[in-house]
Every structure is written in structure tokens, then in C-alpha cells.
Amino acid sequence: MPQTTPPAPAAPHPPLPGYYGAPIARVGFLRQLFDDTAPQYDRINRIFSLGTGGWYRRKALARAGLRPGQRVLDVAVGTGLVAREAVRLTGEPDAVLGLDPSGGMLAEARRHLPIPLIQGRAEALPLPAESIDFLSMGYALRHVADLDVAFAEFHRVLRPGGTVLLLEIGRPDGAFAHAAARTYLGRVVPALSRLTAPRAGTLMGYYWDTIEACVPAATILRHLSRQGFAEVRCETALGLFRAYTARRPGA
């Protein structure tokens, strides 16, 4: 019988060998990078988020339909910036579960949030099928290995009628907007972050390079649809901040 070649991973961006050499080293590079920068991450985020912060995250969660009584999974919870706003909206810390591959990030989240936290990756969620009402992911989609695998996992753990919200920063379309973003996010933010810690500068330089190389919004929406999601859409704020939403059909 003829051998079939497995499909190539649907990566959110091409490899960036300047950071981790061979593509196989990417996962380890990212885990170590986030472990090293976890204590400074909230301070870095205040620079990086252009002042949007908790207000934007809370508004995006509310617009996507998060409400009391729902069970929430925040994938790539980091230090808990999105999960904090989810707790405010649901009023139930035990109903918000945080997941992250970085032990350092989980340690920081435990300092700020009384929610259940588990270590794991978006591509292999350690949760039963149809156990979550609302799944969020804040500014980490560019770090998954395969969009199709991650979205299939999101679809699996969501109950019918459940919602996924993906917050991201996208490459601006216009030449002037792109140049401004490249200057601020690609040069100023890494330089300011480097004053906090050398690895923080590396993290924010990597952030911009993944934004610059990331697939367009239409590609992300197409992969969501391909994994069975309905009502897929993307809302953009300030030409930069993107909120992808989708629903698992069936309710």
C-alpha cells in the first residue's frame, strides 16, 4: 500500500530560528522564556498593552457572552490577567480554571488568584469532553504549534453552545499603522522591558516577531470553521487588538 504523508502542522507563523534554532526546540524555548520572565510579566504587560489592560479584557469577555453560572477555561493563563476579569464577571473563582505550560507563570498566577490551576498545553487539554461552557485565550495563539490541533481540542472540551474567545494582537494593515506598531512594539517595548530584565527584552522582541509573521485573521477564522465552530468572527480595536469569537453548535 502506498504510504501517505501526514499533513503539515497548521502553524500560526513560520519558524523563527534566530530564537530557538531547529523548530523542534521551539516548545522548550518558549517554556523556559516564560518561566524566566514570569516575575516581571505583569510589569511588562502594562507597557505592552498600550493602556488597555483589564478594561479591554473584561469588555471582550462580556461581549462574548461570559456570565455567572458558566464554567470557564482560560488557556495560557499566564499570570492570570484574563482569568482575573473572568472571575469578576462570573463571581465564582472556583468556576474559572487556568491552564498554562509554564510552571513559572502558574506560580505567579497562584500569588494573585484563588482559582484552580493546572499545567498543560492547548494542543492536549487534560479535561473531559464537553466539560466547559466558555474558553478564553489571551495573546497566546501565536505560541501554539498547530492551529487545527488546538482548535479541535477547544471544540472537544466545550459543551454544545459553548463559546471560545481568542484575544490577539494582529499585524496592522496600513503602512503607517504598521510602521508605528513596529517602532513601538518591536523596538520601544523590548528596550523598556530589557531594563526590567534581559530576558524580558527577549520575550517582547519575540512577541513582535511572532505578530509580524502571524497568519492573517482570515486564516485563523478558516481553521476555526474547519474544526466545527460556527458564528466565527473577528473584531478589531485600534487597528491592532483582535477578538476572535466562535461557538460550538448544538445547544
| 189-223 confidence digits (pLDDT tens) | 899 888 888 889 999 999 999 999 999 999 999 99
Count CB-CB contacts under 10 A for residue 73.
Answer: 26
* CA pair distance 149, 140, nearest whole angstrom: 15
CA atoms within 13 A on the CB side of 171: 16
Q: What pLDDT does residue 225 have? A: 98
Q: Are 179 and 226 in contact (CB under 8 A)?
A: no
To 10 degrees, what angle do helices 147-157 and 217-226 make? 50
Residue 46, pLDDT > 90, answer no
Q: What percent of the chain has pLDDT over 90?
A: 75
Average pLDDT, stretch 65-91?
Answer: 96
Could you tell me the pTM of the whole model? 0.94
How many residues does the structure list for the chain? 251
pLDDT digits (tens, 9 = 90+) for 224-247: 999 999 999 999 988 889 999 999
Among 207, 131, 204, smallest CA distance to 170 is for: 207
Instruction: Tell me the β-bridge partners of 237.
Output: 241
pLDDT at 238: 82
